[in-house]
Amino acid sequence: MADGTETESRKLLGRLREEMASEAAGQERLDRITHLIADSIRAEVCSIYLFRDEETLELCATEGLSPEAVHKTRMRMGEGLVGRVAKSGKIVNTPDAPSAKGFRYMPETGEERFSSFLGVPIQRLGEKLGVLVVQSRNAREYSADEVYALEVVAMVLAEMAELGAFVGEGAALSPRHQQPVQFTGGPAQEGSAEGHVWLHEPRVVVTNPIADDPHREQERLTEAVEELRVGVDKMLEISKNGDKEQLQVLEAYRMFANSKGWMRRMEEDIALGLSAEAAVEKEQSQARARMSQVSDPYLRERLADLDDLSNRLLRILTGQGQTNSADLPPDPILVARNIGPGDLLEYGRSLKGIVLEEGSVGSHATIVARALAIPLVVHVGRITTEALNGDHILVDGDQGTVQLRPEDTVVSAFRDKVAMQAKAQERYASIRETPTVTRDGERINLVMNAGLMADLPSLNNSGAEGVGLFRTELQFLIRNKMPKRSELVTQYQRVLDAADKKRVVFRTLDIGSDKVLPYMKHIEEPNPALGWRAIRVGLDKRGVMRMQLQALIRAANGRPLTVMFPFVAQAEEYYEARWEVNKTIDREKRLGHALPESIEVGAMLETPSLAFAPQKFFDEVDFISIGGNDLKQFFFAADRENELVRRRYDSLNVSFLTFIERIVERCNISDTPLSFCGEDAGRPVEALCLAAMGIRTLSMRPASIGPVKSVLLRADLQAVRKIISDARHRGEQSVRPAVMEWLRSQG
């Protein structure tokens, strides 16, 4: 095949096209294809292995190996040369298979007669589907032309599998996008939702992978790329006065759009017989495969740019993916790789749930989802390649699970859970106005977290006694440029008006880490969570801090004002920020603006270091709010985005509760008000233990107030404190089992 590769490849693809059009069943079609490939490549063996589940490959068709081995020979990912190709996504080409790394002898196949081995991954846009293998008796390494031809054929096989060309009996030949699938991700916003899939970026399906007329396909590609280039140039022209980072992205787009190498590779694929769409997708698949193996963040971003550009080119070629909100189903569950806060706000409360392949529990998209009370699960791998628009889907934001195309029994159990939750909410409504006083007479203040005006109606609906944390960064994140001071004044006024004299704690701008302003130069940091963020940015960018403080003071307009600085790691940072507050008040007074009736300035304790600050700090700070999410990850040195470690550490760990108790004691010495803000404040058992440790204000999402209040009203904090103390003396790692047993005994 080294001679006249293009002609032979085109002949083979032409024969494959005929197979696609035939009425043959899936197994018969596979059998014919292995014969076609072996004949065209002049190999004695051609085998197709497909995944029957995420970890297991199955021999589904062969020409040259023992027919009895079909559907019986199976191997795990990484097992043998076939498993090695599947796991790595890389080609294995060896003249001496038995001596190659990872070789495993499969006696039932009769492959011991064949020395040479060429294995090519069958994959589509990063999704692994199987492995295409050719073998020969002679010890020879397959030529570059033969390898390239097999890559093209593997790509067509992936498209055929996507289109359902190989449906038959058994798990490996089951129809794609029709079977029930359960995914496990990370819970980012609690709640349950049932609905139908709405893909934020609809998948383009290539229905014509093989070209009838290569010359016409070359013309179509040229025309589409030219349209793409014009579009990128227009975006650059519109954005030429915008921020530098956005311009850098668009410049990268233009570089790729004008890349001769990118164009040449796609033209070569078309010359071998692929359609324009298939050639683009082949390049895109290879870019995604490279992206999964690159650790350098800059290179990953550039490969992601190429991936996005390929999607744009595919939409131009096919006309697919042009949808709008008018097409939304009545119960949409948004499915996306990732999404920005602006796009999410455009969907608004129409969404019933959100599922993201990427995302994070602290991202601004998550903050918006929480503000809108929309169940959200993040880190759900493969969901965008498996889901189709309109698929039935169940989202459990409490457990972090997603059921796609669920069976009836799963749907029934899910609906029973939702019904039980609805009954519980009715019960919580009956205690909405009841003060939170425990059985032993301790008064607990339950307040809510907020970040959008959409949150404020929950102040009355949930029974919250105020806003313990208002996130001010969302007004900065959803814009393409820095908001004006006057715009912030209006926003903060509306918040205070809606609160109707209830206390609102405004947290100053908390950016950095996973919350990056689109118009601020992004600095690559090896560990952003421990880097330039929150108050560190504010103290380095004092103009922004002063502008926000001015807006808050003017919005108060004679009313009480409460301001809190995030991520204070040492007392000096608080003192510097407090000095800026005093300086701003003096300036506003000179300008003749109304000053707040009173002003409280507090600090968020999110790093263990601040708990050991001098007692003078606790004497002088107006209040402290424990930021439980960050404090917990730093206390345990466990990244809360890392599923491998974050679940290992319990909030009811004796060490952590002892640390919380120490903070309470230091605040009590100075009579400094203390609150706890974070996910654990909204979990009834955790909230109960925090209250038993001495915390009297808990700030949580509005929907959690009812369940937490219900538990606290029936609790004796002294009894719970004794249970915690006894568990500590027994040397137990977590108090959770003992507290849960006590709760069960209380009915």
Ordered DSSP codes for 538-572? HHHSHHHHHHHHHHHHHHHTTS-EEEEES---SHH
Region 399-425: mean pLDDT is 88
Closest CA to 183 of 357, 9, 444: 357
- Contacts of 722 by beta carbon, 8 Å cutoff, 6+ apart: none
Token output for 517: 């302003």
DSSP-assigned letter for residue 443 = B
In this prediction, residue 248 has a pLDDT band, given cuts at 50, 70 and 90, of low
Number of other residues whose CB lies within 10 A of the CB of residue 140: 13
Q: For 442-746, which CATH class?
A: alpha beta
Average pLDDT over the chain, rounded to an integer: 86
On whether the CB atoms of residues 185 and 405 are closer than 8 A, the answer is no
In angstroms, the first-to-last Cα distance of the chain is 77
CB neighbour list of residue 335: distance below 8 Å, 6 or more residues apart:
197, 198, 199, 200, 355, 356, 383, 384, 387, 393
Is-same-fold flag (8-163; 442-746)?
A: no
Task: Assess contact for 566 and 508: CB atoms under 8 A.
Answer: yes
- Burial zone of 534 (CB within 10 Å; 0-12 exposed, 13-18 middle, 19+ buried): buried
Answer yes or no: is pLDDT of 2 > 50.
no
Give the model's pLDDT for residue 513: 62
**Cβ-based neighbour number of residue 453 at 10 Å:** 12
Residues 6+ apart with CB under 8 A from 201: 311, 321, 336, 337, 384
Read off the pLDDT of each residue in 411-420 and give the average, rounded to a whole number. 88
CA angle 526, 530, 531 (to 5 degrees): 70
Phi and psi at residue 42, to the nearest 5°: 55, 45
pLDDT at 486 over 60: yes
List phi, psi (to 5°) of 123.
Answer: -145, 155
Q: What is the DSSP letter of 595?
A: P
Provide the pLDDT confidence category of residue 298 given band limits of 50, 70 and 90: low
List, for residues 163-216, the tens digit of each pLDDT value.
777 888 777 777 777 888 899 988 888 889 999 999 887 777 777 788 878 899
pLDDT at 237 over 50: yes
| Cβ–Cβ under 8 Å, residues 62 and 46 | yes
215 is an active site residue: no
Query: Confidence class of residue 3 from pLDDT cuts 50, 70 and 90?
Result: very low
- Token readout for 177 is 């996008």
Q: Which residues contact 704 (CB under 8 A, 6 or more apart)?
A: 190, 681, 682, 683
Task: Report angle CA 613, 617, 623 to the nearest 5 degrees.
Answer: 110
The yes-or-no verdict on residue 245 having pLDDT over 70 is: no
Give CA–CA dist 601/584, Å, rounded. Answer: 13
Calculate what percentage of the chain has a pLDDT beyond 90.
Answer: 44
SS3 282: helix
| Cα 65 from Cα 472, distance rounded (Å) | 66
Strands 192-199 and 332-336, how do they pair? parallel
185: enclosing H helix or E strand: none
Q: Which one of the listed residues 364, 379, 667, 689 is annotated catalytic?
A: 364
- The domains of the chain are located at 8-163, 181-202+326-420, 214-318, 442-746
Q: Is the pLDDT of residue 395 over 80?
A: yes
pLDDT attached to residue 4:
44
The answer to whether the CB of 49 falls within 8 A of the CB of 129 is: no
Residue 329's nearest CA partner among 307, 347, 309 is: 347
Which pLDDT value is given to residue 94? Answer: 93
Q: Token digits for 487?
A: 């715009």
Number of H helices, E strands in the chain: 27, 22
- CATH (one of 3.30.450.40, 3.40.50.360, 3.30.365.10, 3.40.50.970) for 8-163: 3.30.450.40
Whose tokens are 């204000």? That residue is: 697
Buried b (16+ CB within 10 A) or exposed e, 711-721: bbeebbbeebb
Cβ atoms of 438 and 713 closer than 8 Å: yes
Whether residue 619 has pLDDT greater than 80:
yes
Nearest-angstrom CA–CA distance, 546 and 700: 28
pLDDT at residue 703, as a whole number: 83
Q: What is the pLDDT of residue 364?
A: 64
Q: Which two tokens stand for residue 662?
A: 């120490």
Distance of alpha carbon 416 from alpha carbon 427, whole angstroms:
17
SS3 at position 105: coil
Interatomic CA distance for residues 228 and 312, integer angstroms: 7
Q: Say how far apart CA 72 and CA 632 lie, in whole Å.
A: 49
Task: Say how many C-beta atoms besides its own lie within 10 A of residue 565's C-beta.
Answer: 26
Count Cβ atoms below 10 Å from residue 199 Cβ, excluding itself.
20
User: pLDDT band for position 272 (50/70/90)?
Assistant: confident
Length of the chain: 747
**What average pLDDT score do residues 558-587 get?**
96
pLDDT over 50 (residue 1): no
Is 364 designated active site? Answer: yes
Collapse the DSSP code of 623 into the 3-class scheme (helix H, G, I; strand E, B; otherwise coil) and give the result: coil
Greater confidence (623 vs 384) lies with: 623
Q: Tell me which residue has tokens 């405004």.
A: 506
What class does CATH assign to 214-318? mainly alpha
Q: How far does Cα 416 stand from its chain's mean position?
A: 28
d(CA 158, CA 123): 6
3-state secondary structure (DSSP) of residue 618:
helix
Task: Name residue 729's amino acid.
Answer: H
HEC assignment per residue over 498-539: HHCCCCEEEECCCCECCECCCCCCCCCCCCHHHCCCCHHHHH
Q: Is 185 exposed, middle or buried (0-12, 13-18, 19+ CB in 10 A)?
A: buried
Q: Averaged over 147-176, what is the pLDDT?
A: 81
CATH number of 181-202+326-420: 3.50.30.10
In the predicted model, is pLDDT for residue 5 greater than 50?
A: no
Per-residue pLDDT band for 324 (boundaries 50, 70, 90) equals low
Tell me what pLDDT residue 520 has: 67
